[in-house]
Amino acid sequence: MADIEGEAWLALRETDRELACCLLFVPTDLRGLLSDLLSLAHECENAVRIPSESMLAAIRLQWWADVLAGDDPTVAPLAERLHGHLNSDKVSIGYLSAVIALWQNRLQNDIQGAAGCWAQAFAMMPGVEERHDLAMMASNIGRCFVDNDTTDVDLKKLRRHVGVETRWLFLLACLIRHGQKSRGTRTDGLLVWRMLAWRWGIRLPS
């Protein structure tokens, strides 16, 4: 299982380095699930963003829905890992279908765009959805994650609200704010050390 958890995190890192870094601070046994759920969100976003026609996007999204509901998980590494989470009761097919439906609904009504999808996806993440106060902050962070905007979430308050399974949200909020002040994080060689300090509430981004 450890190898599978590591594979999930490495796959997310290839897609989104910053998100992957945030997941370094959650328990190992949860990191694989969170990595795969966020990777699924990225797959849905790519399905809508990349094709030139909405019909192609709809086909791709339905492909993911069918694969996850079907009995052949070997068609894609992410599908295989998600089926593993389903088989171990870490997540339900209803939950995965609801995540995909966020992007399917966007094809019908794109008023909120990508920010709306990610806001709702973050608010639905494990450990978040059942807490209204945290879900509201997660939604705000999700919008800023897409729009490259500065989140107005109170970082000190957020740090008090998160637990071990939701700490990644706090670190992502710190990362977003730090990135706005420093004009990006991709070339920050001290990023992980900064995140370690933020995790303990030291020198939070202003």
**DSSP calls for 70-131:** SS-GGGSHHHHHHHHHHHTTSS-HHHHHHHHHHHHHHHH--SSHHHHHHHHHHHTSTTTTT-
- Rounded mean pLDDT of the chain? 91
Gap between the Cα atoms of 192 and 126, Å rounded: 24
Q: Residue 182's pLDDT band (boundaries 50, 70, 90)?
A: low
pLDDT for 164 equals 93
Decide: residue 170, CB within 10 A, 0-12 exposed, 13-18 middle, 19+ buried.
buried
Reported residue count of the chain is 206
Q: What percent of the chain has pLDDT over 90?
A: 75
DSSP assignment of 104-115: HHHHH--SSHHH
Alpha carbon of 199 to those of 32, 63, 164: distances in Å? 20, 38, 11
Buried b (16+ CB within 10 A) or exposed e, 133-154: ebbebbbbbbbbbbeeeebebe
pLDDT in tens, 142-161: 999 998 777 788 999 999 99
pLDDT in tens, 54-109: 899 999 999 999 999 998 888 999 999 999 999 999 999 999 999 999 999 999 88
Q: Residue 2's pLDDT band (boundaries 50, 70, 90)?
A: very low
pLDDT for 4 equals 66
pLDDT in tens, 107-130: 988 777 899 999 999 999 999 988
Structure tokens belonging to residue 120: 């709702």
- The residue with greater pLDDT, 178 or 181, is 178
